[in-house]
Structure 1
């Protein structure tokens, strides 16, 4: 590729909705309503956990953090999307794109690690109930709370740095509604050697990150199920499993969706079909997570009733 054709963009153009809708105001209203619903659900859950002393346990402390991450992750994407829909000029600056990509990786990665920490918490609670308080001390909670942010921040810095090392060749239209790493790589110069290297590097970073956390969650639940089967009564088994059911639902949804979205090379993306799935994931999971814990968890339901 002739280096004279390689340029440094000042802004990117989102093409996600420019050709797919004739009613941007209707789409704006729908997204704005869903965004308010996300804020309402998650802030309400955080308020319930904060105000109800019965929920001041490690499990709900992690859930509080997960709701905070849901709000942050959604806020990284949705306000910019709403502005693009209503302004009629769907652009983002070079720095804004890099920043958005970084925070998407940070908050999304932190969610995955936090879900892993929640699996560890359930493992300790069920397999070592008598030692639970001595294991899940304030120091342990501090470490488990800081780990998601440290790991995801490092991963975000590495990925954003390498993605924006690949030169652009004049095409700055991102066929998406936010700065996804795969879609930004899609519009870089494909024939330069660093392009393939960065694509492989980002793929394996994400693969290792998902594989490590997924392995830890699976092992935790294997040991949890093994411990539950040793409980003498059916009632005791059901009570023990019910403390994990909400978290297990969140695990299945998060890993299924994120695995489908990111554990593929850029050449495997079907942009138009994937975009619909990403919209559903962006708005669906932040609503689903607090809803699952509210409906299926008796303590949280009681907390909501008390708050109301």
Structure 2
């Protein structure tokens, strides 16, 4: 990244029209293995989330706000991983890993938008659990279908204008000299490393957006679960406590995995960034966590497992 005191005439300007995604080119012997591994993970994510969506749609017992948001979350996960993984798979099979400015900006925009939507959807799911456990008598009245649709629409739509502006800000920076992006997709930190001149304003904008999109939703979820856990602990029945914990534990696990890696990536000081750590964390929240989400939600949810067994029995009869 260029020094902050330089004036524009001193830069060695080159009009860049594309980046080169280095990805995992530093381990050429592992290209075939990585392709197979990421392809399997991608198929697991697709099949797992499609299965969740299908079961929620066809099982009458799952027509509740909790599963409505889970269906939205599964649809979002398919979109989220499809922004980065197909491109990564193609790059692992070819020598030319160039990506145009427009394609890079588009990938960054959709990645950030779907990531923000995921933060908001997880917050809406936490609110649903908060009302269900802390105010069970008001639950049918509060979490009506109109509110659920509005919450979901707000989650999907609220990240669009923010990240159009943010992506435009990043790509309006001057890029000079190297066009080699030492990453497997167009994420914010590696792109900013190639920018010239004063990037302080953009870096501050990264923190502001991260606070609004990641930290605030995380704190709201944390607040919800403090109330949820204190309410559960006051339940007189051990069976009731176990059931309440089981409906919340899967969501809390997903929240910890997703927000934990996101906060570490975008909120830690720039001086602590390293290429290896950035790639590992990015793999974690772009591929690994989405792979575990269907498994966590399916295996830890008794109602869902019952619905899955019913579906499998129907298929076996046909």
Kindly indicate whether the alpha-carbon contact (under 8 Å) linking 1:105 and 1:155 is maintained by their aligned counterparts in 2.
no
Q: Describe the SS at the equivalent of 2:168.
A: helix
The residue number in structure 2 matching 1:214 is 218
The residue number in structure 1 matching 2:96 is 89
The residue number in structure 2 matching 1:68 is 75
Deviation at 1:148, TM superposition (A): 1.5
Q: Which structure 1 segments of 5+ residues have no match?
A: none
Q: For the residues of structure 2 that align with 1:254 and 1:113, how far apart are their CA atoms?
A: 12
The one of 34, 37, 42 equivalent to 2:44 is 37
Deviation at 1:108, TM superposition (A): 0.8
Kindly indicate whether the alpha-carbon contact (under 8 Å) linking 2:65 and 2:145 is maintained by their aligned counterparts in 1.
no
Q: Which structure 2 segments of 5+ residues have no match?
A: 1-5, 313-318
The one of 152, 155, 158 equivalent to 1:151 is 158
The one of 262, 282, 291 equivalent to 1:278 is 282
Q: Describe the SS at the equivalent of 2:138.
A: helix
The two structures have a TM-score, normalised by structure 2, of 0.91
Deviations 1:193-246 (A, max 9, x none): 3x1111111122212322211111111111112222332222222222222111
Q: For the residues of structure 1 that align with 2:281 and 2:184, how far apart are their CA atoms?
A: 12
Matches within 5 A, 1:1-308: 1=6, 2-3=8-9, 5-189=12-196, 192-193=197-198, 195-308=199-312
Kindly indicate whether the alpha-carbon contact (under 8 Å) linking 1:203 and 1:265 is maintained by their aligned counterparts in 2.
no
Of stretches 28-37 and 228-237 in structure 1, the one that deviates more from structure 2 is 228-237
The two structures have a TM-score, normalised by structure 1, of 0.94
**C-alpha RMSD over aligned residues:** 1.5
Q: For the residues of structure 2 that align with 1:246 and 1:140, how far apart are their CA atoms?
A: 23
Q: Describe the SS at the equivalent of 1:225.
A: helix
Q: For the residues of structure 2 that align with 1:279 and 1:229, how far apart are their CA atoms?
A: 36
Spell out structure 1 runs of 4+ moving beyond 4 A. Answer: none
Deviations 1:37-88 (A, max 9, x none): 1111111111111111111111011111111111111100011111111121
Q: For the residues of structure 2 that align with 1:286 and 1:299, how far apart are their CA atoms?
A: 21
Kindly indicate whether the alpha-carbon contact (under 8 Å) linking 2:22 and 2:184 is maintained by their aligned counterparts in 1.
yes
Kindly indicate whether the alpha-carbon contact (under 8 Å) linking 2:182 and 2:190 is maintained by their aligned counterparts in 1.
yes
The 1:298/1:55 distance shift into structure 2, 3 A limit, reads: same
Q: Describe the SS at the equivalent of 2:25.
A: coil
